[in-house]
Amino acid sequence: MSAPTPETENDDALAAELALRILPPAEEAAARQREAADPVFAAAVDGWNERLAVLAEDVAPVEPSTQIWPRIDAGVRPAANDNERLVFWRRWAVGSTGLLAASVASLIVLAAQPDPAPVTVAAPAVTRVATLALDGSGAAAMTLVYDSKTGALYLAPTDKMAGDTRVPHLWLVMPEGGVQLVGAIDGAGVSTHNLKGEMPGLAGRAIAVAVSMEQPGHTPDIHKPDGPVVASGQMQKL
């Protein structure tokens, strides 16, 4: 069997996105035309449909816990002049739900990325997923996948944060209250972070994740963002 080429990897990613119905209308129409005319591409789409059908059978609906806000409120108590951050956390606790289809899509995108040291992303190894939505608009800003067996954290951002001169920082929201800084991340491209020390354990327990925008060259306190929190999402088991 011949080794995959960048072209075949891109075709496989496109077939996956078509199976998930996450392409923009114009791109989906073009992909549907190709599916009808290209038997190899059509077979790739069918293959992804079968794989996704198996995944969907194992996923149970998850409702946000009624204890989420009390836990966050107990650990993150903004000062009197910090009303904007308080409004954000309340809005997140009430309205945030995991967008599981987009999270599954991130697995496909990440698996299709060429890499000098390929990582096989197997569904049983991935334990936590989250889709971060922009505060206010609710548009998907980033998909996160955490592999507790390896400590690998995969991030697949959309274009919603591209062009911002500030630096996005990733935060874990802990069940006992409070937040924990993971670090600066790439807001425009797919990236992999290998968590070390106590971070794998914290990531495995986190109930949610969030992104703040910090000034270039500035690192906030590990327990409190200084810049505005612009996106968040609930962690779910896959």
- Opening angle at CA 64, ends 58 and 70, nearest 5: 145
Of the candidates 118, 127, 117, 173, the one whose C-alpha atom is nearest the C-alpha of residue 149 is 127
Q: What is the pLDDT of residues 123-182, one digit of tens each?
A: 444 478 999 999 888 889 999 999 888 889 999 999 988 888 999 999 999 999 899 999
**Strand 167-173 relative to strand 128-134, pairing:** unpaired
How confident is the model over 114-125, as a mean pLDDT? Answer: 47
Query: Please, is 197 exposed, middle or buried when counting C-beta atoms within 10 Å of its C-beta (0-12, 13-18, 19+)?
Result: exposed
Whole-model pTM: value is 0.52
Q: What pLDDT was estimated at residue 209?
A: 95
Interval 176-210: pLDDT, tens: 989 999 999 998 888 999 999 999 999 989 999 99
* Tokens, residue 106: 């991130």
pLDDT at 120: 45
At 174 the pLDDT is: 95
Nearest to 126 by CA among 156, 146, 103, 151: 146
The pLDDT of residue 75 is 54
Would the pLDDT of 39 be above 60? yes
